[in-house]
Amino acid sequence: MRQTAATRATLIACQLLLAAFVLLPFFWMISVSLKPATEPFAIPARLWPEDPTLANYVTAFRPEFRTYFLNSVIVSGASVAITVSLGLLAAYSFTRGQLLAVTALMSAVVLAQMFPHSAIIIPIYRMMRAADLLNTYTSLIAAYVSVTLPVAIWMLRGFLMKLPVSLEEAAAIDGAGPLRIFWDVVVPLARPGVIATAVYVLIVTWQEFLFALSFTSTREMRTLPVGLNDFIGQYGIRYGELMASSVMVSVPVIAVFFVLQRYFVAGLTAGAVKG
Amino acid sequence: MMAAVELRDLHKTFGAYTALERLNLEIEDGEFLVLLGPSGCGKSTTMRLIAGLEEPSSGDILIGGKRVNDTPPRDRDLAMVFQNYALYPHMTVAENIGYPLKVARVPRTARADRVRAAAAKVEMAHLLDRRPGELSGGQRQRVALARAIVRTPRLFLMDEPLSNLDAKLRTVMRAELRHLQKELATTTIYVTHDQVEAMTLADRIVILNDARIQQIGTPKEVYERPANTFVAGFIGGPPMTLIPGTVTADRFTHETGALDLPGQPDGPAIIGARPEDIRVTAPGAGDLDGTVFSSELLGDATLLTVRVGPALVAVKVGPDDGRDMDAPVGLSLDRAKLHVFDGQTGQRRD
Ligand SMILES: Nc1ncnc2c1ncn2[C@@H]1O[C@H](COP(=O)(O)OP(=O)(O)O)[C@@H](O)[C@H]1O
Ligand SMILES: [Mg+2]
């Protein structure tokens, strides 16, 4: 498609506007995190602090933060591992299985992802309490797996459906059994899909607040999003430290995203089958 | 290890579409059998049924005397070259070729030796570290072939394994395959739509059309005694000339003339003559009259195409017997080698 200089300029202007709209809160977060305690509400408000300081980061990086961070890593990491593994196996059978029951189950999966978290939190809470699992990693991981799995299955199925069946047929002829085919052929080829799904689960669970707040009752078990609450006191909000913590919470996810984004471009099946 | 293959009443439908119509076929142990037919006639379907990648709608498949309908592909002990290659894109050429051996737990060093030997047979030994995405179509096809011949299965299934190679390499590979197959004496079923390939490779040819077997025979048999007009037109290049007409009192009359045809019942008939069984005569002195449409030197012969009425007739003459375009010629058909087919059914009449 040919573009005139004018359309191009308009497009770029629109993109910049959109980017500014999306990025402004992040900029504000960073700006506030660098302001001394007295400044956030100074009038007139400044876009960028007069004397930037890292003091907020020093206070925000307290021992509790480190505990919360570790908890988040454990809970998110386990959720990613479990959801992606289960999701891949389920998606594979949903892709290649031909039973009528499979179609019905897939519809159930689609339906399952339509319930908002707030609608299912009470039943899940009661189940966790009955199983005596409240205030454990297990309760959070179980909840996270159950809310992310439907979308994960859906995403992975989309990837698997694009894999040519003849590769699995070739492996079967070469003597491989179903599990071997899955491991040697399907998993390597599904890698872009696996990574995209893992990033999705990571983003959802890393920032999850509602379950984390409801299911944990002690500081030792809190995750980062809940931990941010510590700065919201009865008599005031310590914005500088809150924003410094927020930056530290965001950085790992953003870093993971940048490192892995090249995998989102699927292209691994090049050369498998004739045109 | 005996691996005769038998197909009994093998039938395959896809929904309302019949891809294979009650096929009966026996393939002897060690035989090189070629399935030949136009695109869409059911060749790949037959292969996939034998391999176990499709389930027959009815009928039985026997390998080595045992019914294998319910045996999964990996337990049928066969190697297959897929029409679309089906190479593993995430593995190198060496890993692709060696994969069946890896699955069979062949030790690493033995595996490397056999991979190299198989790759050398298809002239790919210098590209072992490439991935399929970095290869041309012909190279991919050769890797697919190597992945099959690296094993010693009891049955080879090859679905158009040479279709994407250039002419020279195809001739070399053809000889290589023929030699290898005789050396290993492994039963081989080979699919092609190329009749030259079929003629040169096969012990026996099965000609398929419209989901049905048209004829089974040695290359010589199907060439010399085609069972119907389809086989007559399909085997041999350039194809046999087929002339429809009517027999009345031992004389065959067609659009542009007539000739004696003793011993045939009255009624519609089709006669056929191969290019090498037609002689060029002076105009009016032969069975047919026409004008030269084109004259092509093939090297050891000249191919004359003669326009007879609305039809084009291919005639093979000596290398020095080329003619000018539009020159009037007569054509005389070798009576001893004339093929006669029923005018209605197209079946051979004898
Ligand atoms: N999985 C399938 N579903 C529906 N139709 C099929 C399928 N596989 C093959 N066919 C049809 O069966 C016919 C025979 O196909 P095939 O055996 O691949 O022919 P070929 O002789 O060219 O190898 C074709 O018309 C094809 O469209
Ligand atoms: Mg085919």
Where are the domains positioned within chain B? 5-233, 239-342
Q: Nearest chain A residue to B97 by CA: give it.
A: A174
Instruction: Give the nearest ligand 1 atom to B43 CA.
Output: 21
Q: What average pLDDT does the structure give for chain B?
A: 92
Contact B73 A173 (CB under 8 A): yes
Distance CA B165, CA B272 (A): 33
Q: Which domain holds residue A185?
A: 62-274
Distance CA A94, CA A91 (A): 5
**Which ligand places an atom closest to the C-alpha of B42?**
1
Note the pLDDT of residue A34.
87
Residues from chain B contacting residue A183 (CB–CB below 8 Å):
none
pLDDT tens string B13-35: 999 999 999 999 999 999 999 99
Note the pLDDT of residue B1.
62
Contact B147 A268 (CB under 8 A): no
| CB pairs < 8 Å spanning A and B | 85
| Closest Cβ–Cβ partner in A169, A184, A271 for B131 | A271
Residue A269 lies in a domain: yes
Q: Nearest chain A residue to B99 by CA: give it.
A: A174
Residue A47 lies in a domain: no
Nearest residue to A228 via CA among A48, A33, A49, A47: A33
Of A225-234, B61-70, B122-131, where does mean pLDDT reach its minimum? A225-234
Contact B87 A180 (CB under 8 A): no
Contact A272 B104 (CB under 8 A): no
* Interface contact A179, partner B, CB < 8 A: no
Distance between Cα B41 and ligand 1 center (Å): 8
What is the ipTM metric for this complex? 0.86
Place of tokens 């919201």: A232
Residues from chain B contacting residue A272 (CB–CB below 8 Å):
85-89, 132
**Which ligand places an atom closest to the C-alpha of B20?**
1
Could you tell me what percent of chain B has a pLDDT over 70? 99
pLDDT tens string B217-272: 999 999 999 999 999 999 988 889 999 999 998 999 988 788 888 888 999 999 99
pLDDT at A163 over 80: yes
Cβ pair B215, B233 in contact under 8 A: no
Average the pLDDT over B155-176 and give the result: 91
Nearest residue to B293 via CA among B314, B318, B278, B274: B314
**Which ligand places an atom closest to the C-alpha of B84?**
2
Q: What confidence category does residue A271 fall into, taking pLDDT thresholds of 50, 70 and 90?
A: very low
CB of residue B43 inside a 6 A radius of ligand 1: yes
Number of structural domains (chain A) is 1
* Interface contact A170, partner B, CB < 8 A: yes
Instruction: Give the nearest ligand 1 atom to B39 CA.
Output: 22
Residue A25 lies in a domain: no
CB of residue B16 inside a 6 A radius of ligand 1: no
Compute how many other C-beta atoms are within 10 angstroms of the C-beta atom of residue B155: 23
Residue with CA at minimum distance from ligand 1 atom 6: B14
DSSP 8-state code for residue A220: G
Residue with CA at minimum distance from ligand 1 atom 23: B44
pLDDT tens string B188-212: 999 999 989 999 999 999 999 999 9
Distance CA B115, CA B106 (A): 11
Token pair belonging to A222: 């809190």
Q: What confidence category does residue A10 fall into, taking pLDDT thresholds of 50, 70 and 90?
A: very high
Q: What confidence category does residue B347 fall into, taking pLDDT thresholds of 50, 70 and 90?
A: very high
Residue A14 lies in a domain: no
pLDDT at A40 over 80: no
- A74: CATH: 1.10.3720.10
CB of residue B38 inside a 6 A radius of ligand 1: no
Average the pLDDT over A116-135 and give the result: 88
Contact B73 A272 (CB under 8 A): no
Peptide bond before B219: cis, by omega within 30 degrees of 0?
no
Question: Of the residues B10, B14, B208, which should be mutated to test ligand 1's pocket, given the most ligand atoms within 8 Å of the CB?
Answer: B14
- Residues paired with B155 in a beta bridge: B78, B187
* Interface contact A97, partner B, CB < 8 A: no
Distance CA B258, CA B159 (A): 45
Residue A231 lies in a domain: yes
Note the pLDDT of residue A267.
39
For testing contact with chain A, the best of B90, B92, B93 (most A CBs within 10 A): B90
Contact B103 A174 (CB under 8 A): yes
Residue A32 lies in a domain: no
Distance between Cα B40 and ligand 1 center (Å): 6
Average the pLDDT over B77-102 and give the result: 95
CATH class label, B239-342: mainly beta
Distance between Cα B154 and ligand 1 center (Å): 26
Nearest residue to B7 via CA among B51, B41, B73, B53: B51
Compute how many other C-beta atoms are within 10 angstroms of the C-beta atom of residue A49: 17
Contact A169 B86 (CB under 8 A): yes
Average the pLDDT over B268-290 and give the result: 91
Contact A174 B137 (CB under 8 A): no
Query: Interface of chain B against chain A, CB under 8 Å?
Result: 51-53, 72-74, 78-80, 82-90, 99-100, 103-104, 131-135, 137, 140, 147, 164
Q: Does domain B5-233 have CATH number 3.30.1490.20?
A: no
Contact B74 A176 (CB under 8 A): yes
Note the pLDDT of residue A99.
66
Contact A270 B133 (CB under 8 A): yes
Average the pLDDT over B292-316 and give the result: 90
Question: Of the residues B23, B45, B190, which should be mutated to test ligand 1's pocket, given the most ligand atoms within 8 Å of the CB?
Answer: B45
Q: Is A23 exposed, middle or buried (0-12, 13-18, 19+ CB in 10 A)?
A: exposed
Residues from chain A contacting residue B51 (CB–CB below 8 Å):
169, 173
Cβ pair B191, B21 in contact under 8 A: no
Residues from chain A contacting residue B52 (CB–CB below 8 Å):
172
Q: What is the 3-state secondary structure (H, E, C) of B170-238?
A: HHHHHHHHHHHHHHHCCEEEEEECCHHHHHHHCCEEEEEECCEEEEEECHHHHHHCCCEHHHHHHCCCC
Note the pLDDT of residue B106.
95
Token pair belonging to A225: 């999003």
CB of residue B42 inside a 6 A radius of ligand 1: yes
